[in-house]
Amino acid sequence: MRITTEHVRQIIKEEISRAINEFGSGRNDPPSKDSNWYEFAEALDIGTLDLDNMAYELGFRDFAEMDMSISPGALAKRDNKKFVSAAQSSSSMAEDMSPDEIIGWARPEGY
């Protein structure tokens, strides 16, 4: 079987498309609107790469795992000091917020 240049190009295009879908585009886009982290991310002006860093600091593998596992409110309620610290190190906007403001955007129930 002879492999043509066009066949090689098609394989490369498919692999690039697969890699982008699997690993993301490298952009710091906000989480999807159906994510329970959407409002928090909008308030702190952070994207999924920032949330990946925050997730890592809070003991998760990445943002996807954190998003599936827990809401920002529940996570803030679990350990508010660690949550605030992770948010401040992941968001330049959060650096200028008080801990109460950050916790308020997380919206923990009964806090």
The residue segments making up the domain with residue 34 are 27-106
SS3 sequence, the chain?
A: CCCCHHHHHHHHHHHHHHHHHHHCCCCCCCCCCCCCCHHHHHHHCCCHHHHHHHHHHCCCCCHHHHHHHCCHHHHHHHCHHHHHHHHHHHCHHHHCCCHHHHHHHHCCCCC
Domain contains 62: yes
Domain contains 32: yes
Domain contains 61: yes
Domain contains 56: yes
Tell me how many domains the chain contains.
1
Domain contains 17: no
Residues above pLDDT 90, as percent of the chain: 63
Query: Which has the minimum average pLDDT: 1-5, 31-35, 39-43?
Result: 1-5
pTM over 0.95: no
Domain contains 20: no
